[in-house]
Amino acid sequence: QSVLTQPPSVSGAPGQRVTISCTGSSSNIGTHSKIYWYQQLPGTPPNLLIFDDDNRPSGVPDRFSGSRSGTSASLAITGLRAEDEADYYCQSYDSSLRASVIFGGGTKLTVL
Amino acid sequence: QLQLVQSGAEVKKPGSSVKVSCRNFGGHFRNTAINWVRQAPGQGLEWMGGIFPVFEETHYDRKFQDRLTITADELTSTVYMELHSLRSEDTAIYYCARDMNGDYLFDPWGQGTLVSVPS
């Protein structure tokens, strides 16, 4: 069971907007630990999508955006496209006794 | 352009060890951390640990700290991940990933190495 909780799946039609939530606790997202989002296409390594909560690396379309509030974070994708169909993971750091990098369980995005 | 190239797939017996390499092409080696993340079949991502060669520091997740060793060879710009006492649950794709600033931002990732431990 992951320390960060994500919905197992979300879906949307082309052109629509979807959001993926990432719920943590006071020992990780709640401590203002940085949040990262990765996109993983089938059969490929994860690829950095969002860093430091809401920043996009060069080459990532502005259709992707990140936000955080309290002990949760969200990834929003607007203007959904077929090529966005992938698994999405949030990542942060937990400063509890375990002191570890933590990932969400992943969310499968299906473009209808 | 930094590229991380990992060694090939492995099939191991339960109880044995596996050593996976990750070679750094085109980037600074000593002042860059390399971390290891694994992904079991059909499952999510799991951080194992990392090394920061310039500080000679390693950090391991508690789950693996008793049987995981991460080392670095500056001469060949290669980082090694060795997992001991393998069991079937260790069957996974093992990825290395760069962490340039020590803040656990992983970019880029290696291509992945499949380690199979048949029961």
Q: Look at residue B1 and tell me whether its pLDDT is greater than 80.
A: no
User: What pLDDT sits at residue A82?
Assistant: 97
pLDDT confidence of residue A50: 96
pLDDT digit string, tens, across residues B10-56: 999 999 999 999 999 887 777 789 999 999 999 999 999 999 988 78
pLDDT at B100: 82
The gap from C-alpha B84 to its chain's centroid, in whole angstroms, comes to 13
β-pair partners for A32: none
SS (H, E, C) A36-94: EEEEECCCCCCEEEEECCCECCCCCCCCEEEEEECCEEEEEECCCCHHHCEEEEEEEEE
Q: Which of A20, A100, A102 to mutate: most B Cβ within 10 Å?
A: A100
State mean pLDDT over B73-92: 95
Q: Sort strands B57-60 and B45-52 into parallel, antiparallel or unpaired.
A: antiparallel
Does residue A7 belong to the interface with chain B, where contact is any CB pair within 8 Å?
Answer: no
Q: Does residue B104 sit at the A interface (CB-CB below 8 Å)?
A: yes
- In A, which residues are within 8 Å of B106 by CB distance? 36, 38, 46, 48, 91
Give how far B46 is from chain A: nearest CA, Å. Answer: 7
Residues of B in contact with A36 (CB under 8 A): 104-106
* pLDDT tens-digit readout, B104-114: 999 999 999 99
Split at pLDDT 50, 70, 90, the class of A21 is very high
Q: Whole-angstrom Cα distance, residue A32 to residue A64?
A: 21
A64-69 β-sheet, strand order: A18-23, A72-77, A64-69
Bridge partners (DSSP) listed for residue A92: A102
**Mean pLDDT along residues A43-71:** 94
pLDDT the model gives residue B98:
94
**Interface membership of A98 toward B (CB under 8 Å):** yes
- List, in sequence order, every residue forming a beta bridge with B83; answer none if it has no partner: B18, B68
Average pLDDT over residues A59-79: 95
A31-40 residue pLDDT tens: 888 999 999 9
A76 pLDDT exceeds 80? yes
Q: Which of residues 31-50 of B touch A (CB under 8 A)?
A: 35, 37, 44-47
Which 8-state DSSP code applies to residue A30?
Answer: G
User: CA nearest B83: which of B26, B10, B2?
Assistant: B10
